[in-house]
Amino acid sequence: MGKKIIKVVLAIVIVIIAVMLIKALSFTSRQIKTEPAGNFAVDTKNVSQHLSGAIKIPTISFENEAEIKGTEFLNFHKYLERTYPRLHKSLHREIVNNYSLLYTWAGKDKNLKPFILMAHMDVVPVEAASKDQWTHNAFAGDIADGYIWGRGALDNKSDLMGIMEAIEGLLAQGFQPQRTLYIVSGHDEERGGNQGAVKIAALLKARGITPDYVLDEGMVITDGMMPGVSSRVGLIGIAEKGFISVELIAKGDGGHSSMPSRETTVGILCKAITKLESNQMPARLDGPAKHLFDYVGREMSFTNKMIFANLWLTEGLLKSQLQKVKTTNAMIRTTTAPTMLEGSSRDNVLPNVARAVVNFRLLPGDTPDSVLAHIRKTVNDPRVEVKPMLKQIQGASPVASINSKSFFAIQKSIRQVFPDVVVAPSLAVVASDSRHFALLTNDVYRFAPMVLQATDISRLHGINERVAVENYVQMIKFYMQLITNSQMEK
């Protein structure tokens, strides 16, 4: 009898291993083979100086609206006009809501759906306290040691100037598009985009424009950041997380701290926060994250392929591993982040009201309502009021297709200009202006052709922002290639 059981168990184990092996062996690369990149001439010195000049104009989105200088944005418009004369002759420019820009490059074939390239023109301020830590002045636009330095070098003037440079270059070569192309450049992305991108999206909607796809910033080419993959990885964001901030308010007896109740408002509030931290929204390996691991898993070692090709068996184990690292954790769940706390203003005063703010970043599939329900159920304390902050609610974006011709065009363009780069769909964990374009099409992609290493991440919105000259030239070539590849019929 015992022998029989051992035999059955052994047979099951053999079958499982056989299935895993077969699945891993057929888990072959999703990377496409492409013809070489087009022969695009880019004058490195010229284009670097153009970007440097753009950085010198401080188009800053200050937190305090009164500090924002409209004249700098108008200067920036004039600078674009001077720098790209061909573009300004051939494309139709509209100024939307005083400072945002919408360009139309009319295609010859009106039956083809247009496409939209986006890049905002505003930058975040430089903190006064950090000024000394910049190797090069943030608004000097220095070109040194193979880099173009300054605020906006990455976020997002290199994209905007890169797109403009690509069009100027294509026009010089006599290129005329079949398909209409819109360039959208908002002036308040760093403040939420309500004055710029929102207005332009509404304008295009009113005109009945249904673009084939939209491409904006959001994800990049990562260098050495994807565990298990030795190549650089170009991540195309096919969706963007949403957010909701919720106030937790505990009310009770205030008074002198010499005679506190057993539970104070601060204590009650902290218990609620602890409950939320220890009972997070469940991790889910689906949607964009699943696509990501499906693409990158195929580029890994055989052992890793065994894991990623056999999610039917390994999903639980994989999720528990992904949850341990904050970057991958953010890809597979709606995150919980307590960010603000308020009690009394004196050490010997018990507050009547204690208040906290918790910020949640929504995975596609979770909604502000489902998160609120989760919070109420988890806190489960009538003494704690749960109050959503109405201005801080944004659902996750729709998920763009990975089987569309436009996804293919982006993927192909990356592979042509960066032949060693592995391309994968992904989830953008930060917000961009492109979310406002969901009303025009589902196929909104988030990718900028900039190469970032882990140490570069802190340069975004931080100090010593810079882009490598070599990378900037590749960015321009990427946009030339993408515009060319996007002409295919549909």
Residue 239: both structure tokens together: 């969706």
- Which parts of 300-361 fold into alpha helices (H)? 302-308, 311-322, 326-332
Q: Is the peptide bond before 156 cis (omega within 30 degrees of 0)?
A: yes
- CA 475 to mean position of chain CA atoms: 17
Among 100, 156, 310, 426, binds Zn ion (CB under 5 A): 156
Identify the sign of the CA torsion 78, 194, 65, 149.
Answer: negative
How many of the chain's residues bind Zn ion (CB under 5 A)? 2
Long-range Cβ pairs for the range 469-474 (8 Å, 24+): 469/44, 469/48, 469/143, 469/146, 469/147, 469/148, 470/146, 472/47, 472/48, 472/51, 472/148, 472/158, 472/162, 473/42, 473/44, 473/47, 474/417, 474/418, 474/449
Instruction: Say how far apart CA 470 and CA 450 lie, in whole Å.
Output: 10
User: Among the candidate windows 56-64, 152-160, 256-264, 289-297, which touches Zn ion by CB under 5 A?
Assistant: 152-160
User: Among the candidate windows 156-164, 166-174, 273-281, 356-364, which touches Zn ion by CB under 5 A?
Assistant: 156-164
- In this structure, what are the phi and psi dihedrals at residue 296, rounded to the nearest 5 degrees? -80, -30
- In this structure, what are the phi and psi dihedrals at residue 177, rounded to the nearest 5 degrees? -75, 145
Pick between residue 192 and residue 297 the one whose CB is nearest to Zn ion.
192
Instruction: Say how far apart CA 485 and CA 483 lie, in whole Å.
Output: 6
Residue 169 beta carbon to Zn ion: minimum distance, rounded to whole angstroms: 24
Pick between residue 101 and residue 281 the one whose CB is nearest to Zn ion.
101
Pick between residue 142 and residue 155 the one whose CB is nearest to Zn ion.
155
| 471 belongs to the binding site for Zn ion (CB under 5 A) | no
Residue 80 beta carbon to Zn ion: minimum distance, rounded to whole angstroms: 18
User: Among the candidate windows 60-68, 153-161, 204-212, 366-374, which touches Zn ion by CB under 5 A?
Assistant: 153-161
Residue 156 beta carbon to Zn ion: minimum distance, rounded to whole angstroms: 4
Active-site residue (options: 189, 190, 212, 240)? 189
Query: Restricting to residues 185-204, which ones interact with Zn ion according to CB under 5 A?
Result: none
Residue 214 beta carbon to Zn ion: minimum distance, rounded to whole angstroms: 15
Residue 217 beta carbon to Zn ion: minimum distance, rounded to whole angstroms: 5
In terms of Cβ atoms closer than 10 Å to its own Cβ (0-12, 13-18, 19+), residue 267 is middle
Instruction: Say how far apart CA 26 and CA 20 lie, in whole Å.
Output: 10
Per-residue binding string, Zn ion, 108-147, x by CB under 5 A, is ----------------------------------------
Instruction: Say how far apart CA 171 and CA 85 lie, in whole Å.
Output: 10
Told to judge if 122 belongs to the known catalytic residues of this protein, a careful annotator would answer yes
| 155 belongs to the binding site for Zn ion (CB under 5 A) | yes
Told to judge if 145 belongs to the known catalytic residues of this protein, a careful annotator would answer no
Residue 73: both structure tokens together: 């944005």
Residue 456 beta carbon to Zn ion: minimum distance, rounded to whole angstroms: 14
Side chain identity at 345, as an amino acid letter? S
Pick between residue 156 and residue 487 the one whose CB is nearest to Zn ion.
156
Pick between residue 124 and residue 424 the one whose CB is nearest to Zn ion.
124
Pick between residue 154 and residue 362 the one whose CB is nearest to Zn ion.
154
User: Among the candidate windows 135-143, 151-159, 334-342, 389-397, which touches Zn ion by CB under 5 A?
Assistant: 151-159
Catalytic residues: 122, 189
What residue ranges bind Zn ion (CB under 5 A)? 155-156
